[in-house]
Amino acid sequence: NSWEKVKVAGDLGVVAKSLRQVIDDLHEWSKRKFGHVRRELEKLRGELAELNLMDADRTTINKKMERMDELLYREDMMWLERS
This model's pTM is above 0.85:
no
CA distances 19 to 25, 32, 48, 82, Å, are: 10, 20, 42, 17
Asked whether the predicted pLDDT for residue 60 surpasses 80, the reply is yes
pLDDT of 9: 65
Taking the C-alpha atoms of residue 40 and residue 26, their distance in angstroms, rounded to an integer, is 21
CB 21 within 8 A of CB 1: no
Predicted confidence (pLDDT) per residue in 5-55, tens digit: 776 667 788 788 888 888 998 888 877 777 788 888 999 999 999 988 888
